[in-house]
Amino acid sequence: MSNTLLKITDLKVGYGGIQAVKGVSFEVNEGELVSLIGSNGAGKTTTMKAITGSLVPNAGDIEYLGRSIKGRGAWDLVKEGLVMVPEGRGVFTRMTIVENLQMGAYIRNDKAGILADIDKVFTLFPRLKERRDQLAGTMSGGEQQMLAMGRALMSQPKVLLLDEPSMGLSPIMVDKIFEVIRDVYAQGVTVLLVEQNASRALGIANRGYVMESGIITMSGDAKVMLSDPKVRAAYLGE
């Protein structure tokens, strides 16, 4: 029986008078890559923000490592290994690539380990290595996405939450990002991937959940879902 790292129970989140998430329940077990798919406006990003403490839920619970983390701040959760790469990347635009990576390691004080992990990020993303002293704000969207992922890895996450990592990227860059998600997962990091690109997300996941209008409408083995006619009709344009 796998160990459940993250458990969401009957989560309800609203803001500005809109109930964006209407009683969502799902879980992520240790060693899994779980995809949460759904169209724009389904409530996926709101769910992620509630998990990581940047939105306070109206009801329900969020458990991480067996304890409720509802209402705890993102800075606090990073120390415990729950780390998000937000939608829109959010890199420090006026810092260099290396400085951004160092910021990812701000909770650590093992200098040798930090340097070794910067090298690991540069192995995953050779393009970042070539531009290590470039200001993050002058990079392309795809390069910034690589940097945001690299920065998150610097905090040594147990669970990595990825919110729409392929959004707005060129097809070649999307290929690269999904290749890296697979690599990171293969290195033993548990991943929760929120993604509109359903075929790519389910293609690399163990399990999937479909979110529509603030509720989970379907869940199961990712490969089975990928061949489900309803999923194919709704998300794969068939």
Angle formed at CA 106 by CA 99 and CA 155, multiple of 5 degrees: 95
Q: Tens digits of per-residue pLDDT, 64-78?
A: 999 999 888 888 899
- Which helix (H) or strand (E) segment holds residue 142: the answer is helix 141-153
Q: Tens digits of per-residue pLDDT, 170-198?
A: 999 999 999 999 999 998 999 999 998 89
> What's the confidence (pLDDT) of residue 17?
83
Contact (CB, 8 A) for 169 and 91: no
Task: For the chain, list the domains and their CATH numbers.
Answer: 31-53+74-235 (3.40.50.300)
Q: What is the mean pLDDT of residues 12-37?
A: 93
Contact (CB, 8 A) for 135 and 95: yes
Q: What is the mean pLDDT of residues 94-121?
A: 95
And the tokens for 195? 């993604």
Residue 120, classed as helix, strand or coil, is helix
β-pairing verdict for 207-212 and 4-15 = unpaired
And the tokens for 43? 């409530």
pLDDT confidence tier of residue 238, bands split at 50, 70 and 90: low
How many residues in the chain? 238
